[in-house]
């Protein structure tokens, strides 16, 4: 992993101004941010996301629609979620053009492999945001790609005008195909040998995607989750040692590593607290982690060199963390 994959410190947060809000689809808006001083924002790559610090207690992650080495703006798409934990409701109802907020530099847990011969992109609903960024990057590089995009209806599909005019795009709308969903098994089976697959969308789609790609080499299969699928490790019954001080903390049932360290006065970077953003990733010096995140690959889990302390626990009696 590169240095950018490890936790972002508070002092690295960037102040940005919301400079525009545009309608993208039913219940979906595009939000554009710039630095107030006019300086360029940190470089970003296709598949990256940023954390938005909406207020003192509300931090949410959103995928970037744009990439580049020296961007002047960041663009995100936000769909109002009826089951919102506060983020999308706040964005739609309270955040206004001109508002100043803090954001993190981009992190990329869903990077695009730009070296492969053919890329298959699969998106559902608002999951199109990182996928569209990948599509645009592949176009710039002159690479071969196809997109399969599913949405409830045409009025719910962001970027439909742009996508409808692209020959390598296959659109599926549930309202126009009652009882039929995107056939992911067929998409995978009919892709050129050696294709890499990328999927972002609602949980049922991601589960179907995992099943359809289960026989492929793991390096060809890429997925981004919006929420956890494993649940937090809160069984407790183990000890966490802080390498820098030698201090040890017992993790009781009902608590996560992050919550115990916070209670002890540690300021630990965190954001989603579900294991989907990577903000709390911490180097693991010794011990065996009980990984509950959706970021680390199986080979990274087997290497046992890092842990998302917001959600993961321990299989061994003791973990030693590089904090």
Tell me, what's the pLDDT at 320? 96
Question: How much is the pLDDT for 56?
Answer: 79
The architecture in CATH of the region 3-103 reads Beta Barrel (2.40)
Mean local confidence (pLDDT), 242-263:
94
Chain-centroid distance of CA 257 in Å reads 22
Distance in angstroms (rounded) separating the CA atoms of residues 177 and 248: 57
Looking at residue 178, its pLDDT comes to 85
Instruction: Tally helices (H) and strands (E) across the chain.
Output: 7, 18
Question: What pLDDT digit, counting tens, does each position of 111-169 carry?
Answer: 999 999 999 999 999 999 999 999 999 999 999 999 999 999 999 999 999 999 898 99
User: How confident is the model over 82-106, as a mean pLDDT?
Assistant: 90
Residue in 300, 309, 216 with CA at minimum distance from that of residue 258: 309
Structure tokens that stand for 199 in this block: 């999927």
Q: List, in order, residues 6 or more apart from 169 with CB less than 8 Å away.
A: 146, 147, 149, 163
Is the predicted pLDDT of residue 10 greater than 60, yes or no?
no
> Are 164 and 147 spatial neighbours (Cβ–Cβ below 8 Å)?
no
Instruction: Enumerate the CATH 2.40.30.10 domain ranges in the chain, comma separated.
Output: 3-103
- Neighbour count for residue 229 (Cβ, 10 Å): 15
Write down the pLDDT at residue 50.
Answer: 95
Judge: domain 238-321, CATH 3.40.190.10.
no
| Dist CA 155 CA 312 (whole Å) | 39
* CATH class as words, domain 118-224: alpha beta
CATH 3.40.50.80, the chain: domain bounds: 118-224
Give the residue range(s) of CATH 3.10.20.30 domains in the chain.
Answer: 238-321
> Which residue spans within the chain are E strands per DSSP?
14-25, 28-34, 49-53, 59-63, 74-79, 100-103, 118-124, 144-151, 169-173, 196-200, 221-224, 238-242, 248-251, 281-286, 289-290, 306-308, 313-314, 318-321
Average pLDDT, the chain: 91
> Over the stretch 69-78, which tens digit does the pLDDT of each residue have?
999 999 999 9
Question: Strands 49-53 and 59-63, how do they pair?
Answer: antiparallel
Residues 316, 287 contacting (CB under 8 angstroms): yes
Lowest pLDDT segment from 42-46, 160-164, 263-267: 263-267
Distance CA 35, CA 19 (A): 9
C-alpha angle 163-157-114 in degrees, rounded to nearest 5:
45
Please answer whether residues 300 and 290 qualify as being in contact, where contact means their C-beta atoms are separated by less than 8 angstroms: no
């Amino acid at each position: 992993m590169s240095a950018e994959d490890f936790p972002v410190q508070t002092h690295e947060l960037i102040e940005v101004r919301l400079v525009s809000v545009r309608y993208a689809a039913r219940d979906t808006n595009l939000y554009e941010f710039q630095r107030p001083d006019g300086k360029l924002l940190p470089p970003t790559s296709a598949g990256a996301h940023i954390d938005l610090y909406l207020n003192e207690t509300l931090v949410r992650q959103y995928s970037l629609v744009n990439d580049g080495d020296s961007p002047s703006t960041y663009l995100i798409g936000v769909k109002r979620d009826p089951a919102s934990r506060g983020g999308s409701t706040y964005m739609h109802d309270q955040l206004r053009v001109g508002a100043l907020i803090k954001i993190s530099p981009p992190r990329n847990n869903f990077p695009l492999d730009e070296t492969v011969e053919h890329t298959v992109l699969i998106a559902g609903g608002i999951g199109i945001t990182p996928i569209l960024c990948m599509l645009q990057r592949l176009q710039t590089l002159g690479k071969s790609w196809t997109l399969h995009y599913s949405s409830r209806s045409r009025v719910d599909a962001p970027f439909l005008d742009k996508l409808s005019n692209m020959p390598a795009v296959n659109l599926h709308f549930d309202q126009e195909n009652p009882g039929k969903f995107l056939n992911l098994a067929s998409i995978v089976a009919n892709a050129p040998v050696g294709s890499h697959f990328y999927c972002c969308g609602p949980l049922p789609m991601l589960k179907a995607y995992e099943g359809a790609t289960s026989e492929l080499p793991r390096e060809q299969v890429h997925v981004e989750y919006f929420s956890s699928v494993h649940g937090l490790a809160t069984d407790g019954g183990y000890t966490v040692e802080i390498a820098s001080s030698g201090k040890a903390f017992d993790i009781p049932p009902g608590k996560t590593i992050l919550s115990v360290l916070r209670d002890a006065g540690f300021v630990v970077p965190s954001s989603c607290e579900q294991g989907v953003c990577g903000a709390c990733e911490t180097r693991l010096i010794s011990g065996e982690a009980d990984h509950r995140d959706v970021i680390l690959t199986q080979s990274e889990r087997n290497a046992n060199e890092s842990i998302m302390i917001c959600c993961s626990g321990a299989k061994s009696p003791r973990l030693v963390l590089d904090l």
